[in-house]
């Protein structure tokens, strides 16, 4: 019996699985959470390690300072007290502004944005964790039970991606678990609505307040490039795979 349990645990014991299991401990979409974390880590890696790297600078320059979503995220992180990398951000964007001035001097108004390298990294992260969720869910009854008990709930976008490639039994089980989780969100929303009645004397609970956030996240996902672009996939695969691996690498302590 213990050997069977060990075999099942071994099916989801990779480093990728460990990050996924950690994400299941929190409310909201676990894959969105991991993609969001990856986007921030990639930007921090650029600011900490690659400000003067010609390859990275070239990718940012050709994307005209990253996509709109990641440009503003880049700036917020660079100016945050935690990161405090105003100088690095200034160096990078001075380079991009200089390129725009040169193009305007030649009478050009460039609209030829190439792929945002952070979008590419986020897309790669999404593919990794969608595949890992699907693999664990197909292979491990323990993982299925863990997802059922967890406060996590896949967003609509990532649910559709995970379902692709699941076996029939696993697919049916995941859909039923998803319905139960959504019914719980709906029940808490209904309670939140009812407690706004002037005759109500019961306090609004934290879980009822969280239901609004969970509902939006279940429907639309978190604000990451992969959900903002879904279902219209804008990722350009022309970027360097080695560059993506460098940007995705966690900063060493």
How do residues 1-46 score in pLDDT, each as one tens digit? 334 344 445 578 788 999 999 999 999 999 999 999 999 999 999 9
> pLDDT confidence of 242, banded at 50, 70, 90?
low
* Rounded Cα gap, residues 229 and 113, in angstroms: 16
- Look at residues 55, 57, 73, 84 and name the one whose alpha carbon lies nearest to residue 119: 73
Whether residue 247 is predicted with pLDDT greater than 80 in this model: the reply is no
User: What per-residue confidence (pLDDT) applies to 250?
Assistant: 52
User: What per-residue confidence (pLDDT) applies to 188?
Assistant: 95
User: What per-residue confidence (pLDDT) applies to 232?
Assistant: 44
User: What per-residue confidence (pLDDT) applies to 237?
Assistant: 41
> Mean per-residue pLDDT for 91-114?
92
Whether residue 216 is predicted with pLDDT greater than 70 in this model: the reply is yes
Whether residue 220 is predicted with pLDDT greater than 60 in this model: the reply is yes
Residue 69: partners with Cβ closer than 8 Å, 6 or more residues away: 223, 225, 228
> Mean per-residue pLDDT for 60-71?
94
User: Residue 22: how many CA atoms within 13 Å on its side-chain side?
Assistant: 10
Lowest-confidence segment of 13-22, 124-133, 167-176, 224-233 by average pLDDT:
224-233
- Distances 35 to 10, 51, 175, 232 between C-alpha atoms, Å: 24, 22, 23, 17
> pLDDT confidence of 238, banded at 50, 70, 90?
very low
Residue 35: partners with Cβ closer than 8 Å, 6 or more residues away: 122, 125, 126, 129, 222, 224, 225, 226
Q: Does residue 41 or residue 84 have the better pLDDT? A: 41
Q: What percent of the chain has pLDDT over 90?
A: 72
Tell me the pLDDT tens digit for each residue of 187-202: 999 999 998 888 888 8
> pLDDT confidence of 234, banded at 50, 70, 90?
very low
- Look at residues 159, 126, 135, 133 and name the one whose alpha carbon lies nearest to residue 35: 126
Preceding amide of 231 cis, omega within 30: yes
Q: What average pLDDT does the structure give for the chain?
A: 87
């Amino acid at each position: 019996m213990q050997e069977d349990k060990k075999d099942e645990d071994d099916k989801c014991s990779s480093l990728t699985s460990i990050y996924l299991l950690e994400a299941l401990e929190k409310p909201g979409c676990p894959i969105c959470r991991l993609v969001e974390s990856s986007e921030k880590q990639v930007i921090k890696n650029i600011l900490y390690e690659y400000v003067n790297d010609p390859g990275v600078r070239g990718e940012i320059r050709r994307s005209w300072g990253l996509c709109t979503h990641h440009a503003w995220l880049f700036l917020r992180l660079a100016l945050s007290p935690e990161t405090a990398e105003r100088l690095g951000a200034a160096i990078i964007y001075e380079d991009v502004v200089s390129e725009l001035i040169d193009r305007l001097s030649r009478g050009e108004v460039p609209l030829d944005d190439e792929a945002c390298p952070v979008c590419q990294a986020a897309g790669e992260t999404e593919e990794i964790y969608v595949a890992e969720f699907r693999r664990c869910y197909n292979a491990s009854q323990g993982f299925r039970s863990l997802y059922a008990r967890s406060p996590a709930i896949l967003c609509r976008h990532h649910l559709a991606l995970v379902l692709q490639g699941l076996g029939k039994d696993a697919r049916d089980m995941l859909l039923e678990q998803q319905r139960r989780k959504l019914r719980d969100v709906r029940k808490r929303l209904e309670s939140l609505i009812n407690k706004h009645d002037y005759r109500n004397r019961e306090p609004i609970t934290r879980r009822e307040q969280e239901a609004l956030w969970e509902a939006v996240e279940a429907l639309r996902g978190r604000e990451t490039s992969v959900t903002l672009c879904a279902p219209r996939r804008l990722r350009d695969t022309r970027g360097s795979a080695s560059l993506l691996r460098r940007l995705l690498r966690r900063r060493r302590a």
